[in-house]
Structure 1
Amino acid sequence: MVKLQTESSPVTVKIDSQKYWNATGIYLETGAIYTFEVKGEQFWYDATIKTDAYGYTKPWFRWAEMFRRKPNENWFSLIGNIGQSVEQEFLIGKKLEKYKVPLAGELFCYANDIPIMYFNNHGSLNLTITRLS
């Protein structure tokens, strides 16, 4: 497990859209402040729908939104999670600046999708994590 320090170089991890949980090996410390960023033009696919870390919306999918892992966030948005706890989920998207960690634990990430639909996902994103304080 890696604990980033404020003077540490940023660390980049791969987030696979087919994985229900992407363990990053990064330990986030309580009260520390981090920036998370998917740099440049990076895309992943929900079946044939190409999207970036902000995800997408489709009017004809509205009926299924309540079944997403994080129902109030876009389809395929990049979600962070501390220790695989539903209470510790947060939206990363393409960039989340100055996130203050409420509870220590390993950072996990995923593409926001319906739990049984990860089989048709393709692609990955590179997420860069920087500790600010």
Structure 2
Amino acid sequence: MRSIVFGFLLLILMFICGCSYLQPHPDTCDHSHPSCSRELNNEEPFVLDTINSEKHIDICACKPLNNSHITVEKDQEYQFQIIELGEGWKDGSIASSLDDPEGGWTNPFMKIIGWFGSAYKRSSEAPWYALVGSVNNDEYTFPVFNEDGNITKIEQSGKLYFFANDMTGRYFNNKGAIKLLITRKN
């Protein structure tokens, strides 16, 4: 029992002290998946200008920011649906769930550790490693999958991005890619 308590306290200390484990590391992302390519995509901005208009986008877990090239307007509603899940969605070796409102890390022990380290995740609006939507590069963030049928009312106009809700500088060990369908609902 003492070793479990000691290990738990050590992990919390690592989060608080910012030990070398938590420092940024070189990128080890597998860039062979098309959505994880290092190439710049010069795609023109896209607007879902009518109800039920849709667009598919690729999202890479190891990219700190995935540009959808979609411009959204305040008070519009969008629905999100995974149409293809590549090699899984993992934070290092930690398995995660995407399409569950309580998604993110699936291991109960890691969820407890995540609760203690929640100040370090990029978005306070979603669990660790859940898929997060962002308008204007983190100015406004929201969990993509929610209890409202994955429909989100956008609270700010701007460019739409996506990312795995990880700690800044810790995207190097992320694995996974998805194809996401985005549909305008109003």
TM-score range relative to shorter protein: 0.7 to 0.9
Percent identity of equivalent pairs: 26
Higher relative contact order (CA 8 A, sep 6+): 1
Structure 2 residue runs of 5 or longer lacking an equivalent are 1-44
Deviations for 1:105-124, whole angstroms, at most 9, x for unmatched residues? 11011000111211111111
4+ long deviations beyond 6 Å = none
Query: Map of 1:1-133 to 2, 5 A cutoff?
Result: 1-7=45-51, 9-39=53-83, 43-53=88-98, 54-56=103-105, 58=110, 59-71=112-124, 73-86=126-139, 88-93=140-145, 96-97=150-151, 99-133=152-186
TM-score (norm 2): 0.62
Higher helix share: 2
| Structure with the largest fraction of strand | 1
Larger gyration radius, structure 1 or structure 2: 2
* CA apart distance, 1:40: 6.7
Contact 2:127 2:165 in 1 (8 A): yes
State the alpha-carbon separation in 2 of the partners of residues 74 and 7 from structure 1: 30
* Change in 2 beyond 3 A, CA 1:55/1:25: same
| 1:50 alignment partner AA | A
- Output the aligned Cα RMSD: 2.2
Aligned counterpart, 2:9: none
Normalised by the length of structure 1, the TM-score is 0.84
Structure 1: 5+ residue runs without aligned partners?
Answer: none
How many residue pairs match? The answer is 131
